[in-house]
Structure formats: C-alpha cells, structure tokens
Chains A and B, each alone.
Chain A
Amino acid sequence: MVNPIYIIILSLAAGFLLSIFDKSGRKLSLIVFYSVLTFNVFVIADWFYRFTVLGVSTLTINTAGFSAPLSINLQLGIQEAFVLLFANLTGLLAAIYLIKKFKESNISSLVLYLILIMGVNGLVMTRDLFNMFVFLEILSISTFALTILTKNKKSLSAGFKYMIAGGVASTFFLLGVVFVYYFTGNLNLDFINPSDFTNYGLIAIFLLSIAVFIELKPFPANGWALDVYESVNSGITSVIAVVNSAAIIFVFYKIMPLLPQNLLNIFGIAGVVTFFFSNLMGLKQTNAKRLLGYSSIGQMGLLVASIIYTIHSPNKLIYLIVGGFFTNHLIAKAGLFWITGIVKKEKIKDWGILKENKFLLILFGLLLFALSGIPPFPGFWAKWEFIKLLVHGKMFFVVGGILLGSLFEIVFLFRWFTIAVKGEVPSENPKISFEFSKYFSTTIFVGITLTISVVIMKYFYDFNWFQFLPLIAVVVLYFLDFIPSKIKGFLSLIAVGIYGYFLYPFESNLQLFFGIIFIVGSAINIIATLNRKNINKGFYGFLLMMIFSFGNLLIAKSYLEFFLAWEFMTISSFVLILRGKKAQKASLLYIIFSTAGAYLMMIGFSLAPNLTSNSALIIAISNINLPILVTVLLAIGFMIKSGSLGVHIWLPEAHAEAESDVSPFISAILLKAGVFGLFMVGISYINHVPAFDMFYWIGWIGVLTAIVGAFLASFQEDAKRLLAYSSMSQVGYIVASIAILSHLGWLSALYLSFNHMMFKSALFIAIAGVYYRTHTRTMYEMGGLIKKMPLSFISVLIGIIAVSGVPPLSGFGAKWLIYSSFIERGWYLQAGVLFFASAVSFLYLYRLIHTIFLGQLKYEHQNVKEAPIWFLIPQVIFMVGIMAISMYPNLIIQPLNSIVGNYFNSSIIVDGYNITSSLGNWNGNMIMFVTMGIFVVPLIILVLLNGRTQTVKQFNIVYAAERPESPQTTHIAYNMFAHYRKALGGWGKPRIWNFWHETNEWAHSLSGLFRQIYTGNGQTYILHIILYIVVIYFIMGV
C-alpha cells in the first residue's frame, strides 16, 4: 500500500532528475522513465483492487500537515482510482508505443511526458480548485510542448492554435476559481456550498464550468482540437485524446455538484449536439486521423451527456453507462490512433493496405467494432442502458440525436472498415513496417476491452454460456484457423448439430418450427460450403456465430437477450457478406440499414412494458400489451431485416455480392429472422388489439413488396440478383400473410417460410454451382447448360415450380392457403395484387431456367462439368424435402395447424391428405398423382415421336449479313423483358433507390456545409470559443 501522493512526488522528482541521469546515457534515463510510469500503474491498480474487492473506504490525503480547507487535500476513491488506472495505463502503453521516438528525441520529451502524467494524477485527485488550475496548466503546458514531438509545419501550427485556445479557456477557468473564492470564501470542493451561488455567484460557477467544458471540445468551439488530432504524432495524440480527456472529464464530474440544474441541462444538450454534429461532419472526412478526431470529440460529448443524465440513477447503472462509454471510447480511440501510427496512411482510401496484415486488421476491426457500440463491447451495454434511461425520462430528442449521430458514426467507421478489408492496396509503400512496441500496446488494449466485455456480460448481466456461444464460436475457430477448410466445415456441421441438440429442450411450438428453419436449414446449407478449398480464414467462425445467434433469438428470455442475439446475427452476417469479392458497397449498405433497424428496435424495446414471466420472449410477449408506438418501431426494425419495400435496397446487393455459398444463408434463413420478429410483434398484437389497425398497413406493404420484388426480379441480368429480388417478393407474401392475423393467414405464412427456406436454398446453391463452373452470374452469357449440368437443372426446375405455385409442388399449397386466407379475411384487392404478382413471378422464373439451362450452349462452356458433389448434396436434400411436403402436405400442415392453434381457433380440417378450409379443399397427394399423370401422357407421346426430330448443330447458324461485335447483346436473353419494362413506363424508375441515394447525398452535403466552420484559422477558433461562452451564458439566462 503506497500513498498515492508518491505518484506525484516521484513523477515530479524523476522528471527533474532525468536530465541529470541522461548525462550517463539514454538507457538509464529510459529505465527510470518507464519504471516511474509502471510504478504509477501498480500503485493505482493496487488501490483500485482495494476499493473494489476489499471495500476499503475513500482515502483522503492532507498535505503540509494541515487538514482541509487550510491545506490542499487529495482524494482517492473508487472513481478516482478507476479514472487514474486508465489514464496511467494508457500513459504507460503510449510511452511504450513511443519508445523508438523517446530513444532518439531530446531528453526534454521524457521530462515533459512525466510532468504530463503527474499533472493528470494531480488533476484527478485534488479537491482544491486553485490547485486544479495549477495542475490543469501543468498538464496543458506539457501537452502543448509535446505536440511538436515530431516537429513539422502542421504540428507547429496546430500546437499554436491549441495553445491560444487552451490559454483562453484557462483564463476563464482562473477567473471562475477566484470568483468562486470571492463568493464562497473557499477553494475546497468539499467545503463549497452550492447554495452560496446566488445572482452574481452564478457567474462565478458559470465561468468555472464553461472553461472546463471548452476543454472538453464542444461543437462548434473545437476546431483547434481537430487540427491537433490530425497533425500530431499518433502516440501523443492518443495521450491527448485519452489521458488528458479522461482527466478533464473527471474535473467536470468533480465540479458538477456545484452547478445549477439548468446549466447542467444546457451542458447535457450541448454534449448531445456535439455528438450529433461531430459524427455528421465526420461523414465527409477522408483523413484517417482527423476522422478519429471527429469521432473522439463526438464521444466526449456523449460521455458528458451520459454523466449528466445518469446522475440520479443507481450506482450500478452509472458504472455501466458512464464507465462503459468511458472505457469503450478511450480504449478504442487510443488503439485506433496507435494503429494510424503503424499504418502510416493519411488517406482512408489507402487503408486497403491493412488486408496484407491480418493480425493488424483484426485489431483494427475489433477496435472499430468497439467504437461503433457493437456487442459484446462495453459501448453496446452502455448505449442500451442509456437509451432505456432516456426513453423512460421521455427525452426523445436526446435519444434521436444520439441514435442518429451513432448511425452517422456507423457509416464512416464501417466505410473505413470495408475499405481496410476490400480496398485497393496503394502502390506507394505497400508494406506496413513492423515495430514490436507499437503492436504490443495496441494488442494489450484490445485484450483489455475484450476482458471488460466478458466481465460485463458475466457479472453485470449474469449471462449463461448459451449467450456467449456466438463469441466462443468465433474465438475457437480463430485458434483452429490453420486447419483445412473442409475439416473446419465438418467440425462446424457437428457443432451445429450439438447446438441443435442442446437447443431442442428449450423450444416448443413456434420456436421449434423456426428452430428447424434456422438450425436444420443452416446445417444443410453448411454442406455446400464444404466445397471450399484451402484454409478460408475466418469464414466458419462467423458462420457459426450467425447460426448460433439465430438459435439464441428463439430462446431469448428478455428484450436484451433478444437484442444481443440480433446484433450478433447482424455483425456476423455483415462480416460474411463482406467476404464477397465486390461486396464492399453491399456490405456497407447492409450494416447501415441493419443498424438503423436495430436502433428503432432499441427504442421499441426500451418503451416496451417489463416482461412478467420467465419464459422465452416469444411466449412471454403474449401477455404484454405493447403500446402502438412500440409495435410500429419493432415492426419497422424487423421489416428492414426482411427486406420490405422501401427499405429493401440493401437486399439485392447483399444477396448478390455475398459469396455464392453464403447467399443461401442470407436469403433463405437470415430473412426469416425478420419474419420471426414480426410474428413476435403479432403475438402481442392479437392479444391486445389496439385501436389503430397497424397490421392492415403492414399487409399492404407486404403485398406491394411481393409485386415490386417480382417485377424487379424480372428485369435482372444477374442470376443471383434475380433470386435476391425473388426472395424479397416471397418474403413480401409472408409478411402480408402474417398481417392477416388469422389462423389461415399465419398457417400460410409459416408454411411459405418453410417452403421458401427449402427452395431458395436449393436455387441459390444450384446457381452457386453454375457460377463455380462458368465463372459468370450474368445469365445471357450462359445457356444450354442442361446437358452439362443436368442435376442442377432438375434442382432449378423443381425450385421454380415450387416458387411459382403451380401444381403439383408445395408452392401450390402455399398459394392456395394464401389466397384462401386473404379471401376469408375479405382483402380482395390485396389478393388480386398478389395473384398478379404470382403471374409476374413466372416471368423471372422462366427467364432463370430458360436463359441458363435451355437454348444454346456457349462456346466457352463446352467443357463445363456438373456442379461439385458438395453443391449437389444439399440440393438433393432440399428437393427430397420439397417433394415430401408436396406429396404429403399433412406432414407439415398438421403440426402447423396445432402451432397456430395456440393463437387462433383452427379454421381448417385436416383429414388424411385432405385439407378443408371454409372456401374449399386441397389434397396435395391427389394433386401430385393427377399432375404426374398429365405430365406422363404427353411425355410418352413425345418419346414415341422423338425419332422424327432433327438435331441442329449449335453453330450451324449464320448471322444475317453481319457478325455482331458483342453477340450476347443480340441474344434473346439480354434485356429479356424490355417490352414489359417499357409497358411499365414511369413505374419502372428506381424511385426508392433514388430516394436513399438522395438522402445519402444530402447528409454528405450537410456534412460538408457544417464543417466549413473549421476554417483552419486560429483566430476563428478563438472567436468560436468566445461566442460559445456568450451564447451558453445567454441560454442559461442569468
């Protein structure tokens, strides 16, 4: 147990002695330097341990032999220890990061660095206002001087701006301090009585607090900080952004009890405004370090807001929210600044260089995910609890500002990430040099943030190993990554099997049904991935993460568990999509839309009444009366995931650009997560029907999605895009059927969900096989593959028959059920539109099979072989499945009848193979035999007559008078349905795409507009500060 005052004494003493030590060589001074920094960390860590684990009470240290207020006193409690532990640790790691610099530079840098650390420790511990000013100045002066550790014109001018801004702020701080003394006769925080600040006294406290607030870089008085972040050495920037900020935010926290409530409210709003605008302006930023600067400023605003708004909450919650934002931001920001120093690329577009260095890329990705507030990182939990708190306090503008700001942040951070993963490697300096010390510090910080994440999940929330599974999967497979892909695939298959086995006892009815779609469907789809060669780093980890999160959705017992699984699902599917060759844009679009949806859900869950039972959410929700706003928010969130019209534009991109064996997961299974969510909303809705019939409109959206999706599918040249739009259309049917809210409607929705899972998986895998052999997804470049790939042809044939809903396959049953349910409900117009959509779907289905498999074989595909066995196995399984439920529909109708029977009274009678509804009956088995019969008769006739046909050799054709330059474009399959497109006229324009595109442009233009306030002129920045102070003063209205 060391008295913490020795931290200050030792740092100061060593600081002065260093220049003497340096006479006998830099080695000695470096040893002293690092020993002192390490000593600090250990002393504080020891105290932190005492406070948290041993429960020691807060320590007060008096100086000069007097007790306060006669002397200056220091205080070290759990909060101080927490902040200082981080500050000192960051200080140490940043110093290690800078070791090369420190070996070469003038000894004064080491001295300044120690003084800086001393200043931080003093600033956090002191209880005396004037002493605070002194430490603040010590900290500032040493920081100013350190900004030119790498001396160039940019860092010099940034340093100068920093100094004059800092100088102005500290002048106001000093004025504040003396006026506080004037009005209260005291300088010690423990003895100042806030009620002494009346009338003119308020000016004193205003000056004091605004000066600290300016140091926290509020928008727009923060241009100087951005320049510093951009130009100063990364190691020092990390210190400024983390160590200094931590100390100053703590100063703010210390003086907060003195502030009147209206001033606190203003600061809270100012924090949120800062967060919003920084992230908005970050959109347009192309310089990596300046971007981090914007993000850093924004996060500080959020941190201030979180401190102010949580002040009346229980301690545990404050620790989780404020502590979460604090550690999350500081660790991620320091780590990212360090990485910018390792990568040494100013422009974000050059960051493609990172993909050459996998380890660094992983560090980068983890820190970026942490910063974006993605689970399991502390920022996620903090955000969840914070939003909940704000929503309960009805502060919707604050919630909106924070979530919109976060969304902007997601946009630029993930854009950066996708560039790092997929961008081009720059031609200049395409290698990242290796420096152990820099990697060391960064790795330690990533380790710490992961540890904190686990601690939060384990001790704050008491999650069991099931919730950890998605993470465990990634970690385990990361360590197994060296083994060949096939073995990992088999292991994954086994893992999914075991997972399904453990999941089974927790499931019943609807859960079990979706469990089959999610888990069994995924397992079969995994077989297709076994075709992968080589190692395939990172693929199976994220695949398993996604599959396990599907399962966890089903058994989630609280809103948070559900949302956690949902976020795990989103992030893992994002990484999987990003693996596609050209998936940079597609994955970005996906994550932006998903995050927007997730934020809506976050608000929805925060508003939802507490759960009353301890069963799975999907069951417990039936007793919960969700307010209409919650229903709307959740429904939008889920419909974004299922690609409903208006928010569907991520869907075709993501489906098409994902790797071809990933697309079946995304399309056939991931979309069903949205469907599952919609069922969840529906279950609450039917038990507590509100006045506003929202599901009527959801029904219309579903119907329109179905028809628009079908049209769009017809106009695609790319087979995978065609299937993607087809998925959109099919899920539109499902959504519409859910919206009917009747027994027959839900029965059809579930039936179609299951069907869609099977036929869309089979189709996507078949196309994967075709792509694997022909290396093209563009349909008009193919043709006549029927003879080369007969099995794939059969699979596609069965698939499209099942989609189209003609007898005898299961799709017919689905359509029969859907139309019956619509008519039963009296939604005739909707039924008509859906019927039309079905007709349109014939267009694209015909195109799919005709263009790829029929017609003439292309010259370059002469030697194409059948798809690999790993693609064929799952197709066969799905085909058998489709045939089975077509032949014996009661296999599935029977259980579905009882599942839906939990929610509605049964409206059908299942008698053997015959299913009777109020409108008629359907016998799948009989239809199968009848259709077979009808099919077989002409077949026999054709076979008998076949002798007369004459085969025309493929290239036995002449073009009339000319040989076209690009023969494909004269092919019938090129722009096949041009006439229909023409007939659609203005309806064929990509309006929704344009809308989102314009939104994007507007956001970026606004970003460009606002950031013009940062003119780069130091005087303008001072003016901003002065004006800011004046404006806040007037808003306060003293």
Chain B
Amino acid sequence: MIVALILGFALLLIGIYGMLSQKNLIKIVIGFSIADTGTHIIIVSIGYLRNRTAPILNSAVDISKAVQQVVDPIPSALVLTAIVIGLAVTALMLSFVVELYKKRQSLSIDDYQELKW
C-alpha cells in the first residue's frame, strides 16, 4: 500500500505548503484540512496488509482464522477518532475566522499581527 502512503505524505506536504503560502485565513484552514486528510490516509495505509479483507467478522471471514485473514483493524479504529477530532478542530478554526472577519472585515493573515515581539 505504498501508493497510499506516498499519497498521504504528498497531501500532508501540500497542506502544510498551503498553510505557509496562502494569506487568506480560510485557505489556511483548508490547508490544515488537507494536511489532516493526508495524515488520515497515512494511518489507514499502514494498517493495510496485502491480500486481506476488511476487519469485519461476517460470513466472508472464518472466525477461527480471522487474525490471518483481515487487515489490522486498529489503524482503522484510530482514523475514525482522528477524523472526528480533525472535524472539530477545523470547525473551531472556521468559527474563529468568522469572528475575526466580523471584527475587522479582513481575511488576510497579515492584518492580524499587532501582537508581536
């Protein structure tokens, strides 16, 4: 599952690049979201084991041999949690952006640097 791993890292880097290069607050949040998604893909990819099925105990899997037949379920479980958390963080970031815009009518990050030194 090397492809997914590479894709995940690519997304992560693209996301970070977006966060660093875009001035628009919303775009920065989108950059964060892309990076986050990249991380999720990486997580899923490392749980994958070649030629195995989904870790669901139904008729397709022989329960006594399940360990040899399914992919590692832990990363899948983890990624669900991570997605939820990522969603919460993104939502909170966006609400901050909305509030910031209300205060100053600007979405450029350059307009919010009076706190410094």
A residues near B (Cβ < 8 Å) are 130, 133-134, 137, 140-141, 144-145, 148, 151-154, 156-161, 163-164, 167-168, 170-171, 174-175, 177-179, 181-182, 187, 223, 226-227, 230-231, 284-285, 1011-1012, 1014-1019, 1022-1023, 1026
Contacts and interface: CB of A to CB of B under 8 A. Distances in A.
B74 interface: yes
A130 B78 contact: yes
Given A167-B89, A1019-B19, A157 B28 contact: no
A227 B113 CA distance: 10
B93 A160 contact: yes
Contacts of A231: 115
Given A164-B19, A167-B93, A227 B46 contact: no
A187 B74 contact: yes
15 contacts: A130-B81, A137-B89, A148-B96, A153-B100, A156-B99, A157-B114, A171-B36, A178-B78, A179-B46, A181-B46, A223-B116, A1016-B114, A1017-B109, A1018-B28, A1023-B20
A227 B114 CA distance: 9
Contacts of B117: 284-285, 1011-1012, 1014, 1016
Contact of A156 (B23, B96, B109, B110): B96
Interface of B: 12, 16, 19-20, 23, 25, 28, 32, 35-36, 39, 42-43, 46, 74-75, 78, 81-82, 85, 88-89, 92-93, 96-97, 99-100, 103-104, 109-110, 112-117
A592 to B, nearest CB: 23
Given A160-B93, A163-B92, A171-B12, A1015 B113 contact: yes
A347 to B, nearest CB: 14
B39 A174 contact: yes
A160 B25 contact: yes
Contact of A1022 (B19, B25, B115): B19
A774 B88 CA distance: 73
A1017 B113 contact: yes
A133 B80 CA distance: 13
A137, A145, A148, A154 interface centre (most CB from chain B within 10 Å) = A137
A159 B20 CA distance: 18
A1018 B109 contact: yes
Given A153-B104, A178-B78, A1016-B113, A164 B93 contact: yes
Contact of A141 (B74, B82, B89): B89
A137, A171, A231 interface centre (most CB from chain B within 10 Å) = A171
B92 A141 contact: yes
Contacts of B85: 134, 137, 141
A157, A168, A179, A1015 interface centre (most CB from chain B within 10 Å) = A157
Given A130-B81, A167-B36, A1023-B20, 11 more contacts: A141-B89, A144-B92, A153-B104, A154-B114, A157-B112, A171-B39, A181-B46, A181-B74, A1016-B116, A1018-B112, A1019-B19
| Interface of chain A: mostly helix, strand, loop or mixed | helix
A1022 B20 contact: yes
Contacts of A1015: 113, 116
Contacts of A1026: 16, 20
A341 to B, nearest CB: 18
A156 B109 CA distance: 12
A134 B16 contact: no
Nearest to B109: A1018
Closest 4 CB pairs of A and B: A1016-B116, A1016-B113, A157-B112, A227-B115
Contacts of A227: 115-116
Contacts of A153: 100, 103-104, 112
B100 A154 contact: no
Given A141-B89, A187-B74, A164 B28 contact: yes
A1016 to B, nearest CB: 3
A148 B113 CA distance: 17
Contacts of B89: 137, 140-141, 144, 163, 167, 170
B37 to A, nearest CB: 11
Contact of A178 (B20, B42, B88, B116): B42
Nearest to B97: A160
A1018 B24 CA distance: 11
A158 B115 contact: yes
A141 B93 contact: no
B55 to A, nearest CB: 15
A226 B112 CA distance: 15
Contacts of B97: 160
Nearest to B33: A167
A177 B114 CA distance: 36
A157 B115 contact: yes
A149 to B, nearest CB: 13
A1014 to B, nearest CB: 5
Contact of B99 (A141, A148, A223): A148
Nearest to A134: B81
Contacts of A226: 115
B96 A160 contact: yes
Contacts of B32: 164, 167-168
A732 B89 CA distance: 67
A141 B96 CA distance: 12
Contact of A1014 (B28, B74, B116): B116
Nearest to B78: A130
A227 B19 CA distance: 19
B115 A163 contact: no
B15 to A, nearest CB: 9
B33 to A, nearest CB: 10
